[in-house]
Structure 1
């Protein structure tokens, strides 16, 4: 193996490891929430916050980190992000109170935000454009291997060794990631001569924070006010960036319809798919009485098939218009979601498996081609902002996805401990959420198709 191939192999491995355990950490808690709720006395809404606070932290930081990571060095900030993830992953299972638990999840989220940005950024900077789609396919595949392992490994570990073990098991991978990063000799810098847009970054962070938190309590008057305030601050952020000489995030990039449509499709796709694991897991563990181990084994279907399909789809997107592949993928996802909408205690496990399989195959066709479009529809100098876009749309989409379920829970059930007497309401909440995300999935493939028809430039 020559020096360049070895360097590329290490870079892809580093990015893939980071996305693997980062995705695992973001997705492993739902399968352990019933046990964590029992130990910590968590209500149904507080359970969702164990997952949401991780994603919320990532969402607040994703945009400013795009430029900061490039300004201070992609490798250096990658190392700091891994260290923060390590601290959070050790502290979370050692927590004895709810505040401790949430604080260490925030630390994990800070590290996760850096990993999310840097993993895309290091691929864009180090891998040649003609190989980028394949590299992104591998990285995205590892993301979904992490998601695939989260329910099955998390369920088995929780069942046999307690909820704390779901975090301990990732420590070796985090340490390996750290070691490999130190073997990379190169460093990548951009924007070193530009001022950091502190004002814009603060406005964005507060806007995202208010939007996501407000949406989680949207059924209340204060929730509506906070959500509107968040939206207004994000509009203000856009105005600040348009008038800034050195914007934290260049809004003008959205003039490219391929960049615009791919980002919209990204957020819609995450809204449509991320909460499915939580919904099906609640149905299995609460309504049907499955243990976490069996529930995890069934839930692995979606991400496992996604992980198998994604590398081939990424490689194919280097030769065929990636948005064409992405459109086909989201059509398949939508069909899978339609099958799941009537989910209740009598729904056949076979139907659930077919639905999860279709979603996995469809999302495998969608994800890496869509990311390839985002990274390739900006000039090379703006790849850090494209990387921030990938991270932000993913995080915001995932948070809004669980937020929809949280809002419906709050409206229909209130802030209660889930028990047999309110299982009928739990089923109704799940069905309404599934109907909403199915409609969003249909909108997603329409947006993909519009982007495919656009004649705007790709730079690969």
Structure 2
């Protein structure tokens, strides 16, 4: 076999395709986080509960994660260009619908449609870069693409805070419209029509994939809202997750039966680097979710920072990630990409380990910014070379399926990370809050110590660990003593939450070390060295 002929871009450089792909990917990544900062505002605007408003974000993440496998295969069947453009149109129109929503229900539906648009676009960005760029330049291109994720991660909260405080919550969605229109114009002008690969449509595979992933993602993503118990009637969270596992197992068996015509050809995972890159991708997404959830709560509840100021703590690290990623991509074209990724995971694990030691009630903010800079470096080293390792060497007929699988495992890793971190943080609060209350109670009057600690213990048992305890002061307590008790309660909350957050961050260190082990186990050599692409694309040029 020989390598496929270069794609005909009409004399243009392959780099000309990156602007629309990166703009679309930037919008997708920003919208995974931009809504979080507007949750209190949306509650007030729609007079809705926290659980209901939570679905504004959950609906987007659910449809996005569930459809990635299907949309990746659609790119192989119909070509990445039309699928990407369709997704871009859907995403932009849905963004307008979000801003115009007159009720929280309409907003949730519009966000779900927005997730569909994001799912249509995401696999095509990786697949098109993989197919258009020559192997020796692919790492550099994926480096630019990866830098978008680093910048977008923190741009969402910062941009959301600025827009919500200045012009209103609607603009966190309206801001996508001009960006989407520019991306659409560039996409129509610059993206090539790549060869497609006729194949039968795996209808049963689509159904099993969507249902299985939907059950798993819903159960893991929303389990905490139902205390991991009953949802309605006989339906419980464990039942939903169990059903998701069974349906997903049926999907895998069906894919094995379908062979090369499967929605997700299992032969992709025979490639050692592809299989390990999927595990490593899930690990880094798990860790990113595991870092930001407890860390953001700590910044606001313990250090008292505003949402916008809390977002700014991570801004330097995000900018560093955006700078490092392109260099890491180029480096992975010159040296074995596995070592770039391995170094990134080690830097990430060390940075979060240091951050966990600094999470204290009275720490100076700059001492948190420094390890977050290391986090940015590590993310930049991991993201783009990992994508390169995952897709290099795959049959060109399955580039979309490979990109869809890689992005699906990343998203599911993030969902699992969110569920695990919430569970760990809650369980640790049940222990650290009463312990902190026991320590500060030593300075209280003797007759108040027992009730004070018991109040915190009861609050922690009810999942109210950060609420300040459940101890009601007797009416005849002098004002000075009451002030002393309130100060002690605040100190206990801050100390207990800081300790729980630090212990939760330590969990992500272990997951990052798993990612490092996956990178170490990958095959050596340059990242673009691998099996040749399918021969049926030889001499085929895009028109």
- TM-score, length-scaled by structure 2: 0.78
Task: Please give the alpha-carbon distance, in whole angstroms, between the structure 2 residues aligned to 1:74 and 1:258.
Answer: 23
Q: Aligned runs of 1:195-274 on 2, under 5 Å? A: 195-215=200-220, 216-217=222-223, 219-220=228-229, 222-245=236-259, 246-274=261-289
In the other structure, the counterpart of 2:368 is 352
Task: Please give the alpha-carbon distance, in whole angstroms, between the structure 2 residues aligned to 1:301 and 1:43.
Answer: 34
Aligned-residue RMSD, C-alpha? 2.8
- Change in CA separation of 1:228 and 1:5 when aligned onto 2, cut-off 3 Å: farther
Q: Aligned runs of 1:24-423 on 2, under 5 Å? A: 24-40=30-46, 48-184=54-190, 186-192=192-198, 194-215=199-220, 216-217=222-223, 219-220=228-229, 222-245=236-259, 246-341=261-356, 343-408=359-424
Q: Is the 8 A contact 2:76 2:397 kept in 1?
A: no
Q: List alignment gaps of at least 5 residues for structure 1.
A: none
* Structure 1 counterpart of 2:517, from 446, 450, 455: 446
Task: Please give the alpha-carbon distance, in whole angstroms, between the structure 1 residues aligned to 2:64 and 2:519.
Answer: 25
In the other structure, the counterpart of 2:448 is none
Task: Please give the alpha-carbon distance, in whole angstroms, between the structure 2 residues aligned to 1:284 and 1:201.
Answer: 42
Task: Please give the alpha-carbon distance, in whole angstroms, between the structure 1 residues aligned to 2:469 and 2:53.
Answer: 19
Which structure's CA Rg is the greater one? 2
Query: How far did residue 176 of structure 1 move?
Result: 0.3
Q: Is the 8 A contact 2:345 2:378 kept in 1?
A: yes
Aligned residues: 458
Task: Please give the alpha-carbon distance, in whole angstroms, between the structure 2 residues aligned to 1:448 and 1:376.
Answer: 15
- Change in CA separation of 1:157 and 1:415 when aligned onto 2, cut-off 3 Å: farther
Q: Is the 8 A contact 1:32 1:163 kept in 2?
A: yes
Task: Please give the alpha-carbon distance, in whole angstroms, between the structure 2 residues aligned to 1:419 and 1:172.
Answer: 42
**Residues 206-245 of structure 1, C-alpha deviation per residue, up to 9 Å, x if partnerless?**
1111111112316326212211221222121111101104
Query: How far did residue 8 of structure 1 move?
Result: 2.0
Task: Please give the alpha-carbon distance, in whole angstroms, between the structure 2 residues aligned to 1:5 and 1:399.
Answer: 43
- Structure 1 residues 295-304 or 436-445, which shifts more? 295-304
Query: How far did residue 180 of structure 1 move?
Result: 0.9
- Change in CA separation of 1:284 and 1:230 when aligned onto 2, cut-off 3 Å: same
Task: Please give the alpha-carbon distance, in whole angstroms, between the structure 2 residues aligned to 1:344 and 1:95.
Answer: 41
* Structure 2 counterpart of 1:9, from 7, 15, 32: 15
